[in-house]
Amino acid sequence: MRTKRFLVAVALAVCSMTVQAQDPTPSELYFNKTELPNGLVFLPAPPDSSSAQFLYDISQYIWGKSKRQDSLRAQQAIRDVVIDIGDMAREFSPVFGMEISKEKTPAIFKVLNLGVVTMRLSASNLKTTYKRRRPYVVFSEPTLIPAEEDELRNTGSYPSGHTLRGWAMALLLSEINPAAQDEILKKGYEWGESRVIAGYHWQSDTDASRLLASACYARLHTSEDFLKDMAAARKEFAEKLRHQ
């Protein structure tokens, strides 16, 4: 029965990936890629395979595989594969304290959509420059999400785009609802660890993504459009909170 429930969770996660909403157009975003912090300048390169740092990556890969034995944590890792903002908002809603959706919280959804997608742009030049092989490719082992293995096999592992999205959303939601910041940030951190557990990323990939997202988040606060949208999101949250 447990195996059956686990397979159903996998199927639902894969299905959700096929109905993603379209990302905002480049002209709608707060910044373009060249205006965001350049991780090639301030982040280290991925660990060399002969380094002590890479040994830690390997130990964390082994740790991630061990966490798959915990069915609840494995299911969470599968759910965390989503990249559609609506799906991500649904996963973050419990720790945020209210349902987040385009229909029920349009101002919050707008700043999440534009903010996360803007920050995600910062990963592309690192991925194409380093072209780091993913752990499941290096070890020729299965992942928690088989449906994505072929598609991502030849894409760069460093940094983790999923982790960047998850940490970016956690930062945004923490600013909107600072009273729940600890729970939100815990969820954002676990979002990245899910990529290690699933077998798609090294620990150093996820660590770099959090640093990159945090740098981009500081940059967002120099955008008047972002500040206006964030103010509207916080106002909407306060109004919704009063009527709960």
Catalytic-labelled residue, pool 201, 207, 210, 229: 201
22 — pLDDT class (breaks 50, 70, 90): low
Please state the CATH superfamily assignment of the domain spanning residues 29-242 in this structure.
Answer: Phosphatidic acid phosphatase type 2/haloperoxidase (1.20.144.10)
234 is catalytic: no
210 — pLDDT class (breaks 50, 70, 90): very high
221 is catalytic: no
The arithmetic mean of pLDDT across residues 87-105, rounded, is 98
136 — pLDDT class (breaks 50, 70, 90): very high
Identify the pLDDT of residue 167. 98
Q: Give the HSE-up count for residue 243: Cα atoms under 13 Å, Cβ half-sphere.
A: 6
Identify the pLDDT of residue 16. 43
162 is catalytic: yes
Please say whether the beta carbons of 150 and 196 come within 8 A.
no
80 is catalytic: no
Please say whether the beta carbons of 84 and 16 come within 8 A.
yes
Kindly list the domain boundaries of the chain, sorted by start residue. Answer: 29-242
Looking at the whole model, is its pTM more than 0.75?
yes
pLDDT tens digits along 42-86: 999 999 999 999 999 999 999 999 999 999 999 999 999 999 999
